[in-house]
Amino acid sequence: MLTATPTLASERLVERLATAKHVVVLTGAGVSAESGVPTFRGGGSTAVWRGLPFEVISSAGMLARDLPGVWEWFNFRRERLASVQPNRAHKVIAAWQERFADFTLVTQNIDNLHQQAGSRAVIELHGNIWRARCFDCETRHELRELRMAHDVPVCIDCGGNMRPDVVLFGEMLPPGAFERAAAAASHCELCFVVGTSAVVYPAASIPEIARAAGAYVVEVNPERTPLSDLCDEVLTGKAGEVLPLL
Ligand code: APR
């Protein structure tokens, strides 16, 4: 069922879509909402696990205090993701890597749905829920390659304990990820911001960098965000309904 008719693109955006070579897309949890993945904010509530707010259970402090507990939380989230499929928004964005000469996809999402839709070389600012990283040797492995010991995956290279390869609250982004995203944003002509509340930095600075570099910045979101006033154009609607129209 279609909600209110999504706002259609202006002539300026149609022209930019026709001429742009360097295009950046930044996505957030909203792009996966139509696949059934809950967003973090919006609707006024945030996720709670075993009585712990999302920001606590997904924090560096929690990792130090209760590694098996953190794995339980991420196992729970992975189980819920196991049957989830990419939606039309993921598929349109995947097709854009063929449509534009120099296309960069930057995501805050850890759900791997962009990759499942066919997107390649995705810049994952917050990691990936299907991977683990060794505390000792820092090696990354797909979870399916690993065996568990005491509810914690063990590194097949050094035998050390593994942690989710996800950026937790209070942690730095993966080395180079933000720098690559910022570099692409600083020379793009068109930047789309899809399904993010734009309150978490440094991810939310990507469209600001693009705007400062003269790019045409477009937001796709059913709700306004702190970024809306900075955008050249706001397409109000669900990503899975708006993006196929572009
Ligand atoms: N299409 C487009 N946007 C949508 C849709 C949809 N179908 N449904 C919801 N949205 C919008 C909401 O209006 C909201 O602005 O998606 C946004 C989701 O915002 P958040 O839940 O805050 O998610 P995100 O911006 O990705 O959060 C950033 O914060 O919690 C951390 O690490 C986590 O990566 C996450 C980061």
Task: Render pLDDT for 201-220 as a digit per residue (tens, 0 to 9).
Answer: 999 999 999 999 999 999 99
The candidate with the shortest Cα–Cα distance to 31, out of 82, 94, 99, is: 94
3-state secondary structure of 246: coil
Please state whether beta strands 102-107 and 22-27 pair in parallel, antiparallel, or not at all (unpaired): parallel
Q: Are 141 and 117 in contact (CB under 8 A)?
A: no
Q: What pLDDT, on the 0 to 100 scale, is given for residue 149?
A: 76
CA of 55 to the centre of ligand 1 (A): 15
Cα-atom radius of gyration of the chain, to the nearest Å? 18
Which residue has the CA at smallest separation from atom 36 of ligand 1? 200
Residues 198 and 3: their CA atoms lie apart, in Å, by 23
Q: With the C-alpha atoms ordered 70, 72, 74, 76, is the resulting torsion angle positive or negative? A: negative
Q: What pLDDT, on the 0 to 100 scale, is given for residue 46?
A: 52
Reported confidence tier of residue 39, pLDDT bands at 50, 70, 90: confident
Single pTM value for the model: 0.94
Comparing 50 with 9, the larger pLDDT belongs to 9
Catalytically annotated residue among 90, 114, 126, 141: 126
Backbone angle region of 224, left / alpha / beta, with phi > 0 → left and psi within -120 to 50 → alpha: beta
User: Does residue 40 carry a pLDDT above 90?
Assistant: no
The best mutation among 126, 197, 201, 206 to test binding of ligand 1, ranked by most ligand atoms within 8 Å of the C-beta, falls on 197
The one-letter amino acid code at 12 reads: R
The contacts of residue 64 (CB under 8 Å, 6+ apart) are none
Q: Is 126 part of the annotated catalytic residue set?
A: yes
Q: Is the CB of 6 under 6 A from ligand 1?
A: no
Residues 53 and 5: their CA atoms lie apart, in Å, by 35
User: pLDDT tens, 124-172?
Assistant: 999 999 999 999 999 999 998 888 777 899 999 999 999 999 999 889 9
User: pLDDT tens, 99-108?
Assistant: 999 999 999 9
Q: Is the CB of 222 under 6 A from ligand 1?
A: yes
Q: Residue 223 CA: which ligand 1 atom is closest? A: 13
Mean pLDDT of the chain: 92
Reported confidence tier of residue 28, pLDDT bands at 50, 70, 90: very high
Please state whether beta strands 127-134 and 140-142 pair in parallel, antiparallel, or not at all (unpaired): antiparallel
